[in-house]
Structure 1
C-alpha cells in the first residue's frame, strides 16, 4: 500500500489528460501490452478463456462472455481509474500528511507543513573552554541567569569543535585543542553565547552534534539532552561507554520541548564533554543549534501514544524488552518511515499501518519477544516489529516518536529503575600488582548504603576479570559491609591471613593487568553497575604498581567517579586493607590545636601533621615539563592519605587581596606516596598564571 501511495498524485484538475497523470498513464501503457485492441484474441482474453473467472469456477469459457458480473480487462481498468483512484486520492491527500519534499506530494487542502531552520549556534562558533580540576563551579557555569554574566577569565577561547586527537581523524574539526588539559580529567566544560531576538518565533529546536564519547548539554542552565552520560554527572565524570564520532555527519536531537528556555537577547549553550578514559587517544565535541519555524497546515498527523514500556525484563534478557505504541484514533495511521528515537533508534518499515485503537509492540528482537514467558508474548496475536538499535536504560531516559517529516509526534520519559546494586555497590580497593608472583591480587567491593542489604546473585564482572557471585561463598552484602574476590585463594591467605570475607576466585584464569585496564561490573538484569579503567601511570598513584600497595577509593560513601585518578590513593600500608577500611578518624575538634603547632586540627588532619612526623610544607618548584619540552612551575602539597573526611581546594592571588579558585590554572601531575601515611600531590601551574611576577597560593580545607 505504501509503495502504491508513492504513485498517487494530488487531486487533478477536472479535464486533466490521462497522459499527465502518472497512475492512469501507466495503467493505459500496461493495458496496451496485455490487451491491445488490434490483437484478437489478446493475451488477456486468452487467459480469461483458459481460466475463466470466479463465476465459472475455473471452467473454460468463451472470451466473449456476456455475464454482467464478469468484466473485461478494459472494463476493470476503467473502473479502477474512475472508482478507486479518486476515492484513494481524496482520503490520502485530504486527511493525512504522507511525505515531504518531492518524495510524496503534500496535502492540497491548505498545503502541508513547511519548516525553515536557521542557526543559533553554527559550526566554528566562538567558545569558552575549561577542563575543571575540582567541583568548585558546581552548575554555575551552565548559563543559569542567576549566575550570568559568568566570569570566564582564564578559560580557553576559540572556535568549535573542542577536543583532541593523537591521530588525524578529527584534526580538521578541532578549533580548541585540550590534549594537555585532559590528561587528568575526562570532562571538559564548553560555553557558547548566542542571541535570540524573539523566542516566540521559534517553533522547533534541534541540537546537532558530533561527539566522542559523550556529553550533557544545557540551555541557559537547564538540561537539554545527554548521551553516554552518567545519571548524575559530576565535574570529573567520564562517558559510560566509548562512542566514535562520524567526522562527516551530525547526530540530531529534537529538543523542541526545551525551547521555552530561550530568552530574548543573550543565551548560553553549555556542554559538558565526556571522554571515556584518561588513556583515550581522542575526544571531540562539535555542536550546532538550530531554530525552526513551522507553517502550520490545516491537516496534522494523528497522535500516536506511548503505552507500556518494559526496560527491565524479568528474565534478564534485554532483548525481551519492548515499547508499546497505541493508535487512539478512529482511523488507521500509516507510520511508514516514522522513527523512535532517544534511548533507542528505530525506523518503521514501509507499509507499517496501525489500525484504529490498535497497538504495536516494538522490540530489539522479535524472536526474543515472542519467547517471553509473561504477557505480552508470542501466541497472543500481537502486532510486533523488531530490530531497534540499542537497549532501554533502567536508569530512565527520554523517548520520542518522529513522523516521516522528522517532526515530533509524541514524547515520554521513562522512570528510573536503577537496581540496588547500581545505587550502592562500589569497588573500594584494587590490589592489581602485589609483591612477588602477582597471585595475591584481589578486588574489594563495598555496600555504601546505610539501609539496604544487597543481593549479589547475578552480579558479575564481565570485563577485566571474570567472576559471578551467583553460587559464591557470599551472595548478600549488608549495609557498610565489604566482600573480596581473589586471584588465588592460597596466595591470598598466605599474604593477608585467613578469615577475610572472600566470595571466591577469578574465573577462567583471568587476572588484573599490571599496566591498567578497564573493569566492568554488571547486575542480574545485565545493567552496568560500574565501568572504569585504572592505570599504573601518573596521575594515578604509582605506589600501587609492584610496591605492595593497593589502590583505595577515596571517600567511597560519596559514590565518587571511579574513572578519575584523583578519587584514588595508595593504601596506607603494604598489602592494603582487604576487607576493612584504613582511613583516619575526623578530628574531634576541627578548630582546636591538639599538637600546639599553631594550625587548626582540621588542617593538620588534611596535611598529615597529626601523624607525629616532621611537618612538610606546601611550596613551589621548577621542573622540566617533558611532554611540553619547557620548564614547568609546580605547586606541591602534602596530603594525608587517610584523611578521607576532607578535600583540599587551592586558591591563588597576585596581590594578596583578590583571590580566585585555581580550577582553570592548575593541572594535576602526580600523587607520590611517601611511605609514612602521606603523599606529595603536584599540580602544574599553567600560563598565563605561571608567568605572573608575583604569585601567592593558599589552601582551603573543607569537610566532605
Structure 2
C-alpha cells in the first residue's frame, strides 16, 4: 500500500511540474544568411503564441556548438501575441531595420550558412524550442543568401518539419507577423529552359505594378551567383503596368517575337533548369526583389523544356510560394500580361465562312464582318502571337481595329490574332497580319 501511495505522488508531482513549466514560446523566424547588400548579420525571432505573459529572463539562445550561448537579460518578459528579435549585432541590425524596437542582443556567434541548429533554453536549462534547419531542399533554399528569411507557418506545429517553414519577402518581417510582399517591380515571367523546337533562349520579364513611374535604368539582374550581373541600360523608365523583357539573345527574341519592342539584353549567364535565383537590385545596388524557382513540383513543371514559361499569376503574393506561379500559354507572353484562355489554333468553333475580314494583310485599319446567324458574341479582342492581350473591339455585326493597343499606341508590324468568344464560352481564333 505504501509503495502505491509513493508512486501516485510521483505522478502527481510530475504532472504539476509539466503544467507549470510548459511554455508557449516558438522560434518563428530565422535569418542565417543575409544578402550582401542588406547585411544585418544573423538574427532569430521568437514569439509567444499563448495568452499569458512569459518570463524569459535568463533564457539562453544557442546554436549547434555548446559553448555558443547568449543569455536573455533578467526581467525580460514576452506578453501573449508579442514578438522579440535576438540580433547577432545590434548596430548592423538597426542599420537595416531602423523601425524595429523589439530587439535585443548582441549574441557573439553566427548561425551556420550551410545549415545548423537554433535552440532556446529556459532559465532552468531545459530546452523549450529547437530548429534544425538546412540551406537546401526540402527546406526553403531562397533563405540562403538571396534576401528572404525562414518564416514559420504554424507556431504550434513541428518546428523541424521543413514543410512548416517558408521563404518570405526580402529582409523578412522581424518583430512582427508576416505580411504579403509588396514589391513595386516584380518578376512576372521566367523562361529558363526553352523547348528545343522553339529556342528562345533564357529571359525574364519585369513588371511595374505600382501606381508610380519607376526608372529602372542601371538596375541589376542577378541569378543565384552574385557575380553574374546584367545592368539594365539607361533610358528604361517603366510607367505603371508597363513591362520589360531582359533576355540573353536579342536575335532569338526578334526572330520568334517580331512585334516585341520592350526588350533589352543581352545577359551573358544562363538560368539553371534545375532551379535558380532571380534577383533585382536598384541603381544603388540594393536588393529589391528575390525569388528562387525550382523545376520540380509543386512548381509548374511544363516550363522545363516543354514549351512553357512560369508566369506570376498572383502579383501581390509571395513569389517564393510555388502557388504564385503558373505555366501559362505555349511560349509564354513576353512583354505583356497573361491572358487566359490561351489562343487556340486548332479546330475552328465558328464556321469560317461566317466571318469575313479585309484587307488582310493591312496597314492601318482592318474590318471584320460577322453573319447575323452566328451565336451571340460575348467578347472580341486582339492578342499578339505570344498570347499577349492587345485590345478589345466593340461587339457589332461589323467591327474594326485601327492597329492600336489598349493605350492607343500603334502596334508594330507582325502577326496578330482575333479572339472571338461566343455566349457559350467557345473561342475561335483568326490570324491577321499587320504590315
User: What is the TM-score of this pair, normalised by structure 2?
Assistant: 0.43
- Structure with the largest fraction of helix: 1
User: What is the TM-score of this pair, normalised by structure 1?
Assistant: 0.28
Point out which structure has higher relative CO (alpha carbons under 8 A, 6+ apart). Answer: 2
Instruction: Look at both structures and tell me which one has the larger radius of gyration over its CA atoms.
Output: 1
